[in-house]
Structure 1
Amino acid sequence: MTQPFSIAIHGGAGTIERSLMTPELELAYRKALAESVLAGYRVLEQGGSAVDATVAAVTVMEDSPLFNAGKGSVLTYEEAVEMDACVMEGNALNAGAVTLIRHIKNPIQLARDVMQKSPHAMLAGEGAERFAFKECGYTYTEQDYFFTDRRYKELKAMKKSGGVALSEARYPDEKKHGTVGAVALDKHGNLAAATSTGGLTNKRWGRVGDTPIIGGGTFARNGNVAVSATGMGELLMRCAVAGDIAGRMQYGHDSIEQACRDVIHGDFLNLGGEGGVIAIDANGQVNFELNCPGMYRATVNENGEALVAIFADEAFRVENGN
């Protein structure tokens, strides 16, 4: 019997409205999502690990200015980029996370190296970057690489209002919570989850969201589930969303659909949380759950074709990623 394998990704969730999405922008998002999920799928198809598949998928989104991660990260109050990322594999519950990253092109790759090449589970700020440069041979990336006019305009607008944005500001998909992630099951039966984000526009004081918090925005355990979350980070942490889904399945024997639904539409929503999760169980069943008008998301069908959706009420459709 052939071991099943599968993958799913997300590129953020929130108020994503058809009326504000131009055809050109929608096409760009669909193409990028297809490219991301197919990059991860190819790793799995060739017998690669779930960890490497999720990292490959997230790397594509980090390299795109469309998503709030890597190249497209939002700016802090000090007009800098501070990024978070996490990788977890389900076999031995190994995990690697980084936070407050400023000079690494692909934080998700550094998170994997923290897991595989250090004795620690999380590294922060300057220490994480010293590990990257001195122990792993990463190239120093200037902040200019991450700076875009779009993000600068968002920051100026947010400073004017005196708030922080859990979303895009003055952009056709405003009120989108910007985090990217992937979950996968490989041919060896291993689950993995990977999540990456630029955080909040106008964030201050070294703010850290749910993305690098194991059990908050990211979790994976073999025989159970892999989860990556996107949305209001403070509430995803407070509700331990990823870990709660895993616990309901592991100990309450909930189905993946029920666990995701009850968590995303439970305390998280009742406390004012907006967002969603992608999850995949030990049989390779993929589930998407959101409590908002849209979530950039994709998976791959049995023919190896990318299935992409954006809006909450939308059925998945085939995209080629070219």
Structure 2
Amino acid sequence: MAAAPSLTRDVHAAGAVVFRPGREVLLVHRERYDDWSFPKGKVDPGEHPVATAVREVEEETGLRVSLGRPLPSHRYPNARAMKTVHYWTGRVVGADDVSGFEPNAEISDVRWVPVDEAAALLSYERDQALLQTARASRRRTQALVVQRHSRACARSEWTDDDRLRPLERPGLLQAEALGPLLAAYDVRRLVTSPATRCRETLAPYAATAGVDLEPLEELTEEAATGRGGPAAVAAAVTGLVDDLHAGRRGIVLCTHRPVLPMVFEALGVDDPGLAPGEMVVVHLRRGRVLATEQHLPH
């Protein structure tokens, strides 16, 4: 008799339900299981599921995607453990042609399938149900990432100007781990408090993505907590939301703990009380918040 799966140990995986204009969805066929499903795969050690979803779609289909709204996760028995698969909606960044796909040991076929026909092709009821949920969330959104700076040197140990207070070693590692998450949401603008600890939080991704930092004085603790500061923060956030709608590429806003409640209030989002290095991804469409998700880089 086969061993029952452990209910206390989960194998984690991630993937995406990827749409393109024309109401088509991306499906893959696995030769080993002779099944049709959404592109997905296991989370590597130390990898964040957000990064896994983008990596696995590219490895299985050859297409680079950006993530949209989060979708319900699947949890089901798998061999001797439970498997949890985290899903997002996705859109292709760049060309979406899969006609040149070459079958490999894992994936034998990749197809764009009309959404109305995909349910009949999908092999599992859980994927059919996920498709129905994803269809309601398929319209393109833009991501505004609200980022608290990574762990910084303690105020009590810093005797110079507080704006110059840098990240400590764990904070620098957090900053390095942030890049794959920002890339997953196609973040192309990096708006930050000019304080050193905020600039250092975004610096590794700025260098990798080839994007300049955009210092914004209104996001400093000193400016935001002064007279007229909350109104200035609200105006800055409103301007970024407008820019997001016009430009369609993701924006990250990096600031300080005392400023974050003002940012969230301007967005109409509850303040979750972010830890150092933590983010909230706010998914907007035409300036309206449709979903949020909270992540701490690994």
Kindly name which structure, 1 or 2, has the bigger radius of gyration based on alpha carbons: 2
TM over 0.5: no
TM-score between the two structures when normalised by the length of structure 1 = 0.30
Give the structure with the higher percent strand: 2
Q: Which has the higher contact order (CA 8 A, sep 6+)?
A: 1
